[in-house]
């Protein structure tokens, strides 16, 4: 069974209704532009002037256009994140009650642009701080003022982090109890699985 890519929230339902009414001939151009710009976090997909033209072309208010663009970006981001197969993407868009002609155009755009988009998203730096070095050591606390016999192991980490934009390096120190370290390890395992699925 495939993972559900979308939840039919009120905003997604509204966006789907708006998408269903869009001119199917102009729709692929919109999708193509979104795919080209999706990996650029700081850059808007369309300029203000272009958005005004899109509002006129599709008969949308500013809010409706924002909702449609955000929803289409979300759909393509989810497809990229899960490296969705075209058939799965098609099926899940139909479950949102999106019209067949729009589903076909989204799946076609995804099929043509998926490899390029996933590669660009992999290369994108999410944050300017980059991990350069990890040092660690184990400590065992044997006593404290209120108790004479305490055996409390903990792990100390020092992360050497460099900021790409400033070039500065700093050390971040973390301390984990056994339970905290185990929980952190499980989160790292989940992240690793998700990264592997994108490879």
Q: Report, as an integer, the average pLDDT of 105-119.
A: 88
Cα–Cα–Cα angle for 62, 68, 74, nearest 5°? 135
Residue 98 within any structural domain of the chain: yes
Distance CA 182, CA 79 (A): 31
User: Based on the domain organization, do 117 and 45 belong to the same domain?
Assistant: yes
Total structural domains within the chain: 2
pLDDT in the model for residue 196: 74
Q: Please check the confidence at residue 71 and state whether its pLDDT lies above 90.
A: yes
What's the predicted TM-score (pTM) here? 0.61
Q: What value does the CA radius of gyration of the chain take, rounded to a whole number of Å?
A: 23
Cα distance between residue 74 and residue 181, in whole Å: 33
- Compute how many other C-beta atoms are within 10 angstroms of the C-beta atom of residue 64: 16
Residue 58 in domain: yes
Do 48 and 31 lie in a common domain? Answer: yes
The better pLDDT of the pair 126, 152 is held by 152
115 and 148 housed in the same domain: no
Q: Does position 127 have pLDDT exceeding 90, yes or no?
A: no
pLDDT of residue 77: 87
Same domain? 156 vs 92: no
Cα–Cα dist 126/21, whole Å: 35
Asked if 28 and 100 sit in the same domain, the reply is yes
Please, which pLDDT band fits residue 121 given cuts at 50, 70 and 90? confident
Let me know if residue 112 belongs to a domain: yes
For 144-163, how does the pLDDT look when each residue is reduced to its tens digit (9 = 90+)?
A: 666 666 677 888 999 988 87
Owning domain of residue 83: 10-123
Residue 117 shares a structural domain with residue 137 = no
Mean pLDDT of the chain: 85
On the question of pLDDT at 165 being above 80, the answer is no
Q: How long, in residues, is the chain?
A: 199
């Amino acid at each position: 069974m495939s993972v559900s890519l979308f939840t039919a929230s009120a905003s997604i339902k509204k966006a789907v209704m708006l998408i269903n009414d869009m001119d199917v001939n102009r729709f692929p151009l919109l999708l193509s532009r979104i795919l080209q710009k999706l990996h650029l976090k700081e850059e808007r997909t369309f300029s203000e002037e272009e958005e005004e033209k899109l509002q006129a072309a599709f008969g949308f208010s500013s809010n409706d256009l924002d909702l449609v663009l955000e929803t289409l970006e979300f759909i393509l981001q989810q497809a990229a994140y899960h490296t969705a197969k075209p058939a799965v993407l098609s099926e899940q868009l139909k479950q949102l009650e999106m019209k067949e002609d729009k589903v076909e155009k989204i799946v076609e755009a995804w099929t043509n642009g998926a490899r390029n988009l996933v590669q660009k998203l992999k290369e994108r730096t999410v944050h300017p701080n980059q991990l350069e070095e990890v040092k660690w050591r184990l400590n065992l606390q044997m006593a404290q003022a209120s108790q004479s016999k305490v055996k409390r192991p903990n792990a100390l980490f020092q992360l050497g982090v460099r900021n790409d934009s400033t070039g500065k390096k700093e050390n971040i120190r973390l301390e984990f109890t056994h339970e905290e370290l185990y929980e952190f390890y499980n989160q790292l395992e989940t992240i690793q699985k998700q990264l592997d699925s994108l490879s």
